[in-house]
Every structure is written in structure tokens, then in C-alpha cells.
């Protein structure tokens, strides 16, 4: 195929990220899985991180290697410093380097404030915020060591933080999750400011409602989906490829001047849909 050929999905130029090495955390499910596959389709070699569910991770690896690029599954809990350091060492040893980090792993532990345990609060902050900090720190060490390789990319490295519309929309009953994503926004912007002079681009993708296991109850019955659609001007619930395609674009040199931005991929959820008819 030529470099202008599209994928079977007809949207990703197959050589957009040719030869780049990408790590996607939480890549054996939902958005992470779709992102890992899309990066492979765009020409990346892909490290598929997982914390549980080795079989699913191996399926993702098989799907990616079938495209003619490399992939490997790496087990690590992103909230554990020693495991993140070991994962990055292994990736650099086996892949040679890292060019793209997609800090995607995340979870919810929902409860009303007075029912929320410290363990629920801490777990969500540890995975969703500290996990992204640890992965970013270790990736940046390698970006800085290696520097820009012009044949590969104009940047020395790209980090895409998986945030959420809840980095700016308060979310009752989810104070741990909304706080973690609010933290991701400020972490992302601060890292972008700190690292831009080193030619490292840090950005975020903020999904709206995407059909994945994390929010199954919000879309799995017709009634729940109808209620959810009230919040989405574009009138459809998103799917993981909607996010994966945004990540691929942001990671590519097409977006080389995009630094410290959040790309909301939400069908308009952040447009205050209640004001379409009220206000």
C-alpha cells in the first residue's frame, strides 16, 4: 500500500506514524484497546500494557502484529512506581525506545461523598492521576536521552493523557473521579509548559460518553441510552474508535504545533446542552 492508502476503516493513513514506538496503558479493554490497534494501523510498534486480563492483552497483540508491525504485552500496575519503571526499561530494551505514550489506564469507584471510603478515593487518584505522572516521568527520561530523530518525528516525544469531560464538568457521586481528571488537566498543562523547550509535546484527549465497560450502566439499556443522549447534541454515544482516531491525529506531526491542548471528543457534551432549549 502507498503512504496515502487508508485502512479498512478508511480513515487512518497507514504510514502516518511509521516506525514509531508507542506504549498504551490499560490497552486490553475499551478505549486503550482501540487506541493500541489504531496506532498499529498507523504504522507504530505497540507496547500493550495491562494489569489484569493477559488473554485480552495477547488478543490485542495478535491483532496488531497481523498488520505487520511489532507488539508485545507488558503487565504493570501503573500506580506502582517499581512496576512502571520496570515496564519502561523493558520496553526500551525490547523496542529500542519510546516515541508516544498514551496514558490511558483509568477506573471509577463511585459513591456519594459520605459513603466514599478513603480507599475508594485513594485508588482512583492513584491509578488515574499518579499512574499518568509515573508513566510520563519515565517516558520523558527516554525522550530526553534520545532527543529528536527527524526521520521519525519532528518532536522528541509525544504524551497523550486520557482525561475526560469531567476534567471541567463537576460530577456528583464521583468526586474521586472528577478530581482525578481535574488533576490530569493541570498536570498535562504543566508538563506541556515544562517540556515544550525539549521538543516534547504533551496534550490530552477528553472523551465524552464512550461505549466501554467502564460506563456500561449508562448505555446498556435503551432507557439509559435515551437519558444519556439528552447530554449529547450530536445524538449518538461515542465508540472507542472515535477516541483512538483523535489520539492518532494528536500523536502525528500533522499536529506538531499543538502543545498543552485538550481535544474534547464528546459529541458536544461540553457545550452546555441544556442551554439549547433553556436559559
Residues that bind ligand NAD (CB under 6 A): 25-26, 28-32, 49-52, 77-79, 104-107, 127, 131, 162, 164, 207, 209-210, 212-215
Closest separation in Å from C-beta 18 to ligand NAD: 26
To ligand NAD, the closest distance from the beta carbon of 162 in angstroms equals: 4
Shortest Cβ distance from residue 34 to ligand NAD (Å)? 8
d(CA 53, CA 275): 42
Active-site residue flag, 177: yes
**CB of 129 or CB of 195, closer to ligand NAD:** 129
**C-alpha cell, 97:** 525506545
CA distances from 249 to 82, 205, 210, 242, 266 (A): 31, 11, 18, 11, 16
In the bound state with ligand NAD, the residue whose beta carbon lies nearer, of 79 and 262, is 79
DSSP string, 10-25: S-S-TTTTTT-EEEET
Nearer to ligand NAD, 14 or 210 (CB): 210
Count Cβ atoms below 10 Å from residue 248 Cβ, excluding itself.
Answer: 27
Catalytic residue selected from 177, 234, 257, 264: 177
CB of 68 to ligand NAD, least distance (A): 25
Alpha carbon distance 158, 143 (integer Å): 9
Contact 100, 155 (CB under 8 A): no
Beta strands 100-103 and 45-50, pairing class: unpaired
User: Which is closer to ligand NAD, CB of 14 or CB of 64?
Assistant: 64
Instruction: Give me the least distance between CB of 2 and ligand NAD, in Å please.
Output: 33
Give 149's Cβ-side CA count (13 Å radius).
16
251 with 202: CB under 8 angstroms?
Answer: no
19 vs 171 by CB, closer to ligand NAD: 171
Among candidate residues 17, 26, 32, the one with its CA nearest the CA of residue 67: 17
Q: Which residues are catalytic?
A: 177
Amino acid at each position: 500500500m502507498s503512504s496515502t492508502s487508508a485502512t479498512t476503516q478508511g480513515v487512518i493513513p497507514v504510514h502516518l506514524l511509521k516506525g514509531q514506538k508507542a506504549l498504551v496503558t490499560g490497552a486490553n479493554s475499551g478505549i486503550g484497546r482501540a487506541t493500541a490497534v489504531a496506532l498499529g494501523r498507523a504504522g507504530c510498534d505497540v507496547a500493550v500494557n495491562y494489569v489484569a486480563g493477559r488473554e485480552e492483552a495477547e488478543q490485542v497483540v495478535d491483532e496488531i502484529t497481523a498488520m505487520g508491525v511489532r507488539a508485545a504485552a507488558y503487565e504493570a500496575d501503573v500506580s506502582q512506581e517499581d512496576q512502571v519503571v520496570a515496564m519502561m526499561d523493558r520496553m526500551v530494551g525490547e523496542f529500542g525506545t519510546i516515541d508516544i505514550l498514551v496514558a490511558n489506564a483509568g477506573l471509577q469507584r463511585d459513591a456519594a461523598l459520605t459513603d466514599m471510603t478513603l480507599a475508594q478515593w485513594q485508588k482512583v487518584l492513584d491509578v488515574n492521576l499518579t499512574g499518568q505522572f509515573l508513566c510520563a516521568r519515565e517516558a520523558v527520561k527516554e525522550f530526553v536521552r534520545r532527543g529528536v530523530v527527524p526521520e521519525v518525528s519532528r518532536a522528541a516525544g509525544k504524551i497523550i493523557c486520557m482525561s475526560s469531560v469531567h476534567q471541567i464538568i463537576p460530577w456528583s457521586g464521583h468526586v474521586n473521579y472528577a478530581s482525578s481528571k481535574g488533576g490530569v488537566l493541570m498536570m498535562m498543562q504543566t508538563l506541556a509548559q515544562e517540556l515544550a523547550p525539549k521538543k516534547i509535546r504533551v496534550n490530552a484527549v477528553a472523551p465524552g460518553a464512550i461505549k466501554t465497560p467502564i460506563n456500561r450502566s449508562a448505555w446498556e439499556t435503551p432507557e439509559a441510552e435515551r437519558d444519556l443522549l439528552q447530554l449529547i447534541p450530536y445524538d449518538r454515544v461515542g465508540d472507542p474508535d472515535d477516541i483512538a482516531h483523535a489520539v492518532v491525529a494528536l500523536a502525528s506531526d500533522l499536529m506538531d504545533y499543538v502543545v498543552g491542548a485538550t481535544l474534547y471528543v464528546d459529541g458536544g457534551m461540553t457545550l452546555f446542552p441544556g442551554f439549547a432549549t433553556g436559559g
